[in-house]
Amino acid sequence: MNLRHALVALATLPLAVAPSLHAQTATTITGKAAFADYSKQVPGTRRKITVADLPEPNPIESVDNGAHIVPRPDNLWPTAPAGFKVELYAGTGTSATKGPFTEPRLIRTAPNGDLFIADSHGNKVHLLRGVGPDGKAREIFTYATGLDFPFGIAFYPAGPNPKWIYVGNVDTVIRFPYKSGDTAASGPAEKIAELPGFAQLRGGGHWTRDIVFSKDGTRMLVSVGSGSNVDDPDTHPKELHRADVLEYTPEGKFIKVFASGIRNCVGEAINPITGMLWCSVNERDGLGNNLVPDYITSVQEGGFYGWPWFYMGGHQDPRHIGKHPELQSKVITPDVLVQPHMASLEMVFYPGASSPRTKGSFPASYAGDIFASEHGSWNRAQRGGYEVVRVPLHNGKAEGSYEDFLTGFVTPSGDVWGRPVGVTVALDGSLFVTDDGSKSIWHITYTGKR
Contact 195, 240 (CB under 8 A): no
Residues 169-180: pLDDT tens digits?
999 999 999 999
Q: Give the pLDDT score at 450.
A: 47
The DSSP bridge pattern shows strands 28-29 and 46-48 to be: parallel
The answer to whether residue 123 scores a pLDDT higher than 50 is yes
Q: Indicate the average pLDDT of the chain.
A: 92
Find, among 181, 130, 142, the residue nearest to 432 by Cα. Answer: 130
| pLDDT band, very low/low/confident/very high, at 26 (cuts 50, 70, 90) | low
Q: Give the pLDDT score at 6.
A: 40
| More confident position, 197 or 318 | 318
Give Cα 376 distance to the centre of its chain: 11
Residues 221-268: pLDDT tens digits?
999 999 999 999 999 999 999 999 999 999 999 999 999 999 999 999
The domain ranges of the chain are 3-446
Mean pLDDT of 294-314: 97
| More confident position, 360 or 36 | 36
Of the listed ranges 59-73, 132-146, 262-276, 355-369, the one predicted with least confidence: 355-369
Sign of CA dihedral 169, 173, 174, 178: positive
The answer to whether residue 422 scores a pLDDT higher than 90 is yes
d(CA 320, CA 335): 24
CATH of 3-446, one of 1.10.3720.10, 3.40.50.2000, 2.120.10.30, 1.10.40.50: 2.120.10.30
pTM of the model: 0.93
Find, among 199, 149, 207, the residue nearest to 174 by Cα. Answer: 149
Of the listed ranges 37-51, 84-98, 196-210, the one predicted with least confidence: 196-210
The answer to whether residue 428 scores a pLDDT higher than 80 is yes
Contact 206, 227 (CB under 8 A): yes
- Spell out the SS3 assignment of the chain: CCHHHHHHHHCCCCCCECCCCCCHHHCEECHHHHCCCHHHCCCCCEEEECHHHCCCCCHHHCCCCCCCECCCCCCCCCECCCCEEEEEEECCCCCCCCCCCCCEEEEEECCCCCEEEEECCCCEEEEEEEECCCCCEEEEEEEECCCCCCCCEEEECCCCCCCEEEEECCCEEEEEECCCCCCCCCCCCEEEEECCCCCCCCCCCCCCCCEEECCCCCCEEEEECCCCCCCCCCCCHHHCCCCEEEEECCCCCEEEEEEECCCCEEEEEECCCCCCEEEEECCCCCCCCCCCEEEEEEECCCCECCCCCEECCCEECHHHCCCCHHHHHHECCCCEEEEECCCEEEEEECCCCCCCCCCCCCCHHHCCCEEEEECCCCCCCCCCCCEEEEECEECCEECCEEEEEEECCECCCCCECCCEEEEEECCCCCEEEEECCCCEEEEEEECCCC
